[in-house]
């Protein structure tokens, strides 16, 4: 302190008071501390900026697709709090439509992932944001007493490269980092699956990780899940068997049928069960072409699920573009000629036709995937082995037979609207029972739908010769997805279950009803009561008229009111039918309007009817 006083005294002069000297002491002290702090921090960072000191660095470079550590570190980096504070970070978003991501409701949010709640509240698509290091920018991260320099870039071959450098006497800190990232990645793999999306460079890009979805949460008629799991497991351990017989070690599953019936959810659940990551490629992407798809399919790791979503959407486009049949072309030509003959054709018509053809031309300019390109990518020489290929479609009839033949799609599963059995199982899954064990016992007592007849088209398994044994086994076990109704024996409606009569309109519960139901819901229902409600619910739901997703939506509206969910199901069915009818009429009216717009002066049918001369 005396030293400090002797330094300050000459600055203030002899007449300075002791309070002035104290104030000045503080200023000098603060300044010294701050200067020391800045010097030490620049000393730390200086080497990063000085290229001539680069020999002091230990560096590791990892490439996407080639190195697993790349994935480990990308996951580790996305969890770093630095991206929350950094001014330069990249976000990838994944929309969670109810489907593949439909199970997101129960996801635990990770520290660095944020969900746009306001959007989800409004019932729009939910968006998850994942923060990652920006490309071509160097980031600095403090890790275990060392400053790491992280750089993410893209190489000319399309691969992403991650370079991590550190000033250290040896590379042990980098080894520690990679091992920690691996540990975290593997720990997560136990509970989560990693999702990769194809990008326009022909690379797979880690996009997100999801909680595993339990298979038990998928409500399919009995035997279907079991068959799939047994088939996929059997395949994964049969590599040598395939190699010995010279059969390409690949297996394809085609899940087709109505929307909202659980195709994507089932794939998600299977990935979790088998601890496989999912590689998603949307064939309707504007950038997809034969060569990119071939590159992508050659770059999937050996044990994973490749998911081709909405196979028909892409394929329809490609056939329209490149392989339009002669017949179609002739038809179109004739149509054009016919309309040219029409003297009444207006300028609007020309405009709209030109607009349509321009739109078609645009498609061909962008997406140039062809059927042969797709087939080649799936099982050509460059296609990787050991992967499970899942393809989903809502329109089986639009697919080319070549695409669906055994060897490409070995197992077909049709998904229909919810059967009564599914409605009941969904209800039971939805509401917890006070005595789960008892419920399980009751479930066993359920009458199981009969297995499909050999001619049933609902569950076609096109097993290759290699799996003929399994084929016959599953043939006898696999029940039809278009199962018939469940047993109605013992379905007694409870006295406290008011039922809306046929024709009575379904209205959402009033506030009083809602509060009363919530109070009631707090009391746990006995397993027997829940079973009875589930039976009532299934009775009210017509067989195969509504998708499981639609039923789930209805149950969600009553998620704390099992009694109401069961008692109002019949009224809901009526209101849904009315709504559908209304929408159908609106659609028809719109179509008529459009037709009128295209051919304003076309004589009506009535006018064409020859008059009978008396």
Give the binding site for ligand ATP (CB under 6 A): 98-99, 102, 218-220, 259-265, 392, 394, 415, 548-549, 552
Nearer to ligand ATP by Cβ, of 96 and 207: the residue is 96
Minimum separation from the CB atom of position 579 to ligand ATP (A): 18
Contacts of 365 (CB under 8 A, 6+ apart): none
Minimum separation from the CB atom of position 271 to ligand ATP (A): 13
Minimum separation from the CB atom of position 555 to ligand ATP (A): 10
Minimum separation from the CB atom of position 308 to ligand ATP (A): 12
Nearer to ligand ATP by Cβ, of 261 and 532: the residue is 261
Nearer to ligand ATP by Cβ, of 265 and 461: the residue is 265
Nearer to ligand ATP by Cβ, of 96 and 165: the residue is 96
Nearer to ligand ATP by Cβ, of 244 and 397: the residue is 397
Nearer to ligand ATP by Cβ, of 198 and 548: the residue is 548
What torsion do the CA atoms of 358, 359, 360, 366 make, to the nearest 10 degrees? 110
- CA neighbor of 397 nearest in space, from 503, 508, 316: 316
Nearer to ligand ATP by Cβ, of 141 and 281: the residue is 281
Minimum separation from the CB atom of position 278 to ligand ATP (A): 13
Minimum separation from the CB atom of position 550 to ligand ATP (A): 8
Helix spans in 380-446 (H):
401-404, 420-430, 436-444
Asked if 148 and 59 touch (Cβ cutoff 8 Å), the reply is no
Q: 268-288 burial, b for 16+ CB within 10 Å, e for fewer?
A: bbbbbbbebbbbbbebbbeeb
- The angle at the Cα of 139, spanning 135 to 142, to the nearest 5 degrees, equals 145
Q: How many CA atoms lie within 13 A of 197 on its CB side?
A: 15
Minimum separation from the CB atom of position 556 to ligand ATP (A): 9
Q: How many CB atoms lie within 10 A of CB 120?
A: 15
Nearer to ligand ATP by Cβ, of 104 and 139: the residue is 104
Q: Alpha-carbon distance 532 to 350, whole Å?
A: 62
Contacts of 255 (CB under 8 A, 6+ apart): 263, 266, 267, 390, 391, 392, 393, 413, 415
Minimum separation from the CB atom of position 283 to ligand ATP (A): 14
Minimum separation from the CB atom of position 390 to ligand ATP (A): 11
Asked if 554 and 565 touch (Cβ cutoff 8 Å), the reply is yes
Q: How many CB atoms lie within 10 A of CB 247?
A: 14
Q: How far is CA 270 from CA 121, 229, 258, 264, 330, in A?
A: 29, 7, 20, 10, 46
| Paired tokens of 32 | 């010294």
Nearer to ligand ATP by Cβ, of 98 and 475: the residue is 98
């Amino acid at each position: 302190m005396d030293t400090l006083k002797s330094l300050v005294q000459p600055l203030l002069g002899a007449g300075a008071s002791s309070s002035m000297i104290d104030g000045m002491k503080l200023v000098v002290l603060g300044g010294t501390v701050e200067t020391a702090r800045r010097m030490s921090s620049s000393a730390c960072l200086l080497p990063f900026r000085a290229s001539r000191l680069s020999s002091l660095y230990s560096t590791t470079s990892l490439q996407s697709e080639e190195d697993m550590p790349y994935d480990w570190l990308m996951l580790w980096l996305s969890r770093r709090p630095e991206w929350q504070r950094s001014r330069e970070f990249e976000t990838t978003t994944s929309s969670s439509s109810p489907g593949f991501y439909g199970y997101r409701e129960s996801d635990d949010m990770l520290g660095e992932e944020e969900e746009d709640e306001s959007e989800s509240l409004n019932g729009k698509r939910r968006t998850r944001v994942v923060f990652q290091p920006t490309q071509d920018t160097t980031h600095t991260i403090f890790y275990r007493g060392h400053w790491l320099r992280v750089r993410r870039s893209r190489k000319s071959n399309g691969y992403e490269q991650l370079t991590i450098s550190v000033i250290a006497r040896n590379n042990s800190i980098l080894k520690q980092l990679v091992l920690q990232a691996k540990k975290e990645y593997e720990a997560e793999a136990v509970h989560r699956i990693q999702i990769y999306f194809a990008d326009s460079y022909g690379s797979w890009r880690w996009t997100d990780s999801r909680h595993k979805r339990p298979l038990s949460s998928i409500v399919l008629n009995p035997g279907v899940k079991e068959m799939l799991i047994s088939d996929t497991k059997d395949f994964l351990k049969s590599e040598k068997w395939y190699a010995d017989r010279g059969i390409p070690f690949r297996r394809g599953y085609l899940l087709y049928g109505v929307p909202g019936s659980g195709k994507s959810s089932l794939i998600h659940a299977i990935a979790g069960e088998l601890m496989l990551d999912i590689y998603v490629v949307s064939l309707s992407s504007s950038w997809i072409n034969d060569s990119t798809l071939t590159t992508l399919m050659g770059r999937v790791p050996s044990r994973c699920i490749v998911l081709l979503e909405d196979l028909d959407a892409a394929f329809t486009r490609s056939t329209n573009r490149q392989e339009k049949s002669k017949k179609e072309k002739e038809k179109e030509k004739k149509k054009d000629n016919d309309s040219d003959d029409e003297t009444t054709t207006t300028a609007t018509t020309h405009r709209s036709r030109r607009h349509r053809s321009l739109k078609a031309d645009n498609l061909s300019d962008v997406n140039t995937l062809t059927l042969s390109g797709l087939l080649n990518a799936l099982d050509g020489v460059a296609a990787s082995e050991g992967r499970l290929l899942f393809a989903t479609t809502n329109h089986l009839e639009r697919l080319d037979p070549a695409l669906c033949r055994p060897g490409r799609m070995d197992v077909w599963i049709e998904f229909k609207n919810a059967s009564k059995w599914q409605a009941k199982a969904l209800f039971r899954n939805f509401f917890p029972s006070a005595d789960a064990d008892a419920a399980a016992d009751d479930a066993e007592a359920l009458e199981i739908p009969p297995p499909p007849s050999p001619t049933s088209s609902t569950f076609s398994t096109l097993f290759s010769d290699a799996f003929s044994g399994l084929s016959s086994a599953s043939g006898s076990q696999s029940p039809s997805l278009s199962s018939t109704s469940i047993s109605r024996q013992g379905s007694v409606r409870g006295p406290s279950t008011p039922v809306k009569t046929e024709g009575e309109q379904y209205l959402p519960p009033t506030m009083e009803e809602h509060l009363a139901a919530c109070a009631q819901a707090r009391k746990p229902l006995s397993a027997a009561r829940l079973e009875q409600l589930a039976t009532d619910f299934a009775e009210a739901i017509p067989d195969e008229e509504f998708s499981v997703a639609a039923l789930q939506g209805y149950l969600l509206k009553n998620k704390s009111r099992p009694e109401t969910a069961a008692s109002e199901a019949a009224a809901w069915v009526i209101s849904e039918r009315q709504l559908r009818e209304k929408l159908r009429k609106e659609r028809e009216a719109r179509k008529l309007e459009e037709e009128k717009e295209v051919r304003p002066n076309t004589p009506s049918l009535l006018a064409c009817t020859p008059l009978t001369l008396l």
